[in-house]
C-alpha cells in the first residue's frame, strides 16, 4: 500500500485539510472495506459521480457489484483511503483475450472519489496506481470515457496527460436530458 502524507508530496499531491492518504490494490476485502466502499459509492452517486448509476441502488446490489469486481480476472481494483477509510476507487479492465489486436490497451473504469474526501489528491493517486499496474501488465495505452458533467475528473485526466479524442453528444441520459461524454487515451511511457 502506498502512503502519501502532506509532508512528502509535490505538486499535485495531497491538498486540502490534512489526512493520511493511501492507495491500495485490492484482491479481497478485509475489515470494513466492503462497507466503506459501498458507503463511498452511495455518496458519490447522490452527488452525480456514480459511474453510471443515477440513484443509489439497494445495498445488496452494491455489495454484489463490488464482490463481483474481484471475481473478474481481467480487472484490477484500486482503492484510495483517507485515514484508513475507503474514499474512492477505480478499476483497470484489460482487453478481452479474443481481441489480440488491442491487447496493448486497457480501460480505466468506475473511477470516483466520495464527496467528503475530494480535494486531497486521492483521485490522482488512484490513477497513478492504475497506470503503474498497466505498465506492469505490459499495456501501452489506457482509454477512458466520462460524462461532461464530471468537470473535476476531466481536469484531473487532462492534467495527467490524457488526450481527448472525441465527444459523443448523447452519451448519457440524466433527468430526461442528454449529457455529452468525452473519450480519452494516454500512451504510457
- Domains (ranges, CATH) in the chain? 2-8+19-187 (3.40.630.30)
Q: What is the pLDDT of residues 55-96, one digit of tens each?
A: 999 999 999 999 999 999 999 999 999 999 999 999 999 998
| pLDDT score of 50 more than 80 | no
Which position has the higher pLDDT, 18 or 173? 173
**The pTM is what?**
0.88
Write the CA distances from 96 to 13, 72, 105, integer angstroms: 33, 11, 10
Neighbours of 148 (CB within 10 A): 15
Which of 130, 79, 135 is CA-nearest to residue 107? Answer: 130
| pLDDT score of 7 more than 80 | no
> What cell does 158 get?
487532462
Instruction: State how far the Cα of 147 lies from the Cα of 166, in Å rounded to an integer.
Output: 12
Instruction: State how far the Cα of 94 lies from the Cα of 106, in Å rounded to an integer.
Output: 5
Which of 49, 46, 47, 70 is CA-nearest to residue 57? Answer: 46
Residue 185 backbone phi and psi in degrees, to 5: -145, 160
Instruction: State how far the Cα of 182 lies from the Cα of 150, in Å rounded to an integer.
Output: 10
Classified as helix, coil or strand, 100 is helix
Q: What is the pLDDT of residues 134-155, one digit of tens each?
A: 999 999 999 999 999 999 999 9
β-sheet with 2-4: strand ranges across: 2-4, 21-26, 75-82, 85-94, 105-113, 141-147, 177-187, 163-174
| Cross-strand partners of 17 | none
Q: What is the pLDDT of residues 101-133, one digit of tens each?
A: 888 999 999 999 999 999 999 999 999 999 999
| Mean pLDDT of all residues belonging to the chain | 90
Residue 37: the pLDDT is 97
> What cell does 112 get?
470516483
Amino acid at each position: 500500500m502506498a502512503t502519501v502524507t502532506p509532508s512528502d508530496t509535490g505538486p499535485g499531491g495531497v491538498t486540502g485539510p490534512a489526512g493520511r492518504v493511501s492507495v491500495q490494490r485490492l484482491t479481497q476485502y478485509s475489515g470494513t472495506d466492503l462497507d466503506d466502499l459501498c458507503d463511498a459509492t452511495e455518496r458519490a452517486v447522490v452527488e452525480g459521480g456514480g459511474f453510471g448509476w443515477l440513484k443509489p441502488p439497494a445495498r445488496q446490489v452494491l455489495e454484489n457489484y463490488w464482490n463481483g469486481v474481484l471475481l473478474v480476472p481481467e480487472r484490477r481494483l484500486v482503492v484510495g483511503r483517507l485515514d484508513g477509510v475507503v474514499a474512492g476507487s477505480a478499476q483497470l479492465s484489460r482487453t478481452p483475450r479474443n481481441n489480440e489486436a488491442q491487447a496493448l490497451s486497457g480501460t480505466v473504469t468506475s473511477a470516483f472519489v466520495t464527496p467528503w474526501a475530494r480535494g486531497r489528491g486521492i483521485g490522482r493517486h488512484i490513477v497513478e496506481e492504475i497506470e503503474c499496474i498497466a505498465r506492469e501488465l505490459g499495456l501501452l495505452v489506457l482509454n477512458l470515457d466520462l460524462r461532461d458533467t464530471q468537470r473535476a475528473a476531466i481536469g484531473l485526466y487532462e492534467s495527467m496527460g490524457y488526450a481527448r479524442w472525441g465527444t459523443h453528444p448523447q452519451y448519457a441520459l440524466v433527468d430526461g436530458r442528454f449529457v455529452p461524454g468525452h473519450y480519452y487515451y494516454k500512451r504510457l511511457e
